[in-house]
Amino acid sequence: MDAELRTLERAALSGGARERLAWARGLERAGRRDEAVAALVPVRDDHAVRAHLEALPAWTHLDGNPGATDFLDARPVARTPHVRWTVDVSAETQFLLASPLVLVTLDEDGHLVAIDPGTGAMRHIPTPPLRFECLELRLASLIHDDDETGVLVVDLVTGTTRAVPDPGRAAVHTSARDRDFMVRVLTSDLVEAFSTEPNGAVREKLWRFPASGHLDEDLAGCADVKIGPNSVVLLGAAHFAVLDRATGALVFRGEGGDVGVDALGVLHLNPPSLSVHDAVGKRVWSRTLDDGGVELALSPDVLVIANGGATCILDRRTGWPVGVVREYRHVHAVIGDVVYTSAAGSLEARRLSAEVLWSFDAGGIIDAFAALDARIFLGVRSPDGESRRILCLEEPRPEEPLRTAR
């Protein structure tokens, strides 16, 4: 393998994007993910290179993805990790976003901080104060879209920020983005979907909901929008509505609560009721939870709910428990087939059966989480609230000895 990689490296350094892509794929086969990404950064604008990088797992939105499932189809950190790096930050905002090229947070004044996911090196990027709920992270850029700033696009490599013309901005109440797709709730109580350019600019209108008139009183003032691969969910004061992503046609409606949406359907939590619907709106199952349930994560196989004095891992198809933790734990994510939760500053990784794989004492309150392939990023606040740090936990390479995280 070393001889092959040296040959690929020589060809890449004297060649172009095609040769660098071959070198990067060789590095990935050897488990050297960060080096593979670094090899592609100089040619990231090449179409094939960008397609390769954009296919890598990324934590692009506050809740992992635009469907708010806190799920990432990536290699989990399943073996006892080591701390790759730690940085002290002034950030108070409780969120992290991560792509193969950059880790993103905001400082205490709402300004952007970009962190190298491989080294922890930080760069403060001059921006107006931003709101984390209005951010979407792309491979090497950040899109910020709200009614005060309009659409801002920040190049996370060069640190430059530019505004994208958006003549309809003044009418927008809330919006959500998923790569080349955007949904806007207008102050006139109607919803419009648009295609968008790679640079974040609005392109053409795809549909309107309702097709005529305005949202009824149960959906009026829609406070949130969540986007799945096939569906768009509108969250109103009293009801939610699931629309077909391609056409805007109403699929079904439900009463209140919160949702997560993915390719398989919609998880609906309206305490004390929890229900799962398939992609066409058919209710798969429903059950009543003790104490209502307040936190959840959703994967194609399971859903995880913090419920009363326990944290339950439920089978996605049936709703029956496949694993139970006999204490309330904060639910961070499901990465691949591993569940991550925390309590009292201790992060735990568990199999879907709830068997503990490892635990890590973060030394403070874990209030932010993001993940990439075989890496986890944590935001940790000191018990007295006076300091914050961000750290990277990484699974050792197969040839490396296990080192207990401390």
Please tell me whether residues 369 and 267 are part of one structural domain. yes
> Does one domain contain both 19 and 158?
no
Q: Could you say which residues of the chain have pLDDT below 50?
A: 401-406
Q: Which residues contact 178 (CB under 8 A, 6 or more apart)?
A: 66, 136, 227
Any domain includes 405: no
Q: What is the pLDDT of residue 1?
A: 58
Query: Cα dihedral angle (103, 105, 111, 116), rounded to 10 degrees?
Result: -20
For tokens 């399943």, what's the residue?
Answer: 78
Distance (Å, whole) CA 303 – CA 384: 33
Q: Are residues 77 and 48 in the same domain?
A: no
At 302, which helix (H) or strand (E)?
A: strand 302-307
Residue 285 lies in a domain: yes
| Co-location of 38 and 92 in the same domain | no
As for how many domains the chain has, the answer is 2
Q: Is residue 228 part of a domain?
A: yes
The predicted model scores a pTM of: 0.90
Q: Give yes or no: residues 210 and 335 share one domain.
A: yes
Regarding whether 48 and 63 lie in a shared domain, the answer is no
171 and 37 within one domain: no
- The answer to whether residues 229 and 320 belong to one domain is yes
The CATH number of whichever domain residue 113 belongs to comes to 2.130.10.10
Quote the domain boundaries for residue 138: 56-394
Domain assignment present for residue 305? The answer is: yes
Given 25, 55, 85, the domain boundary residue is: 55
Same domain, 49 and 61: no
Domain's final residue, options 13, 36, 55: 55
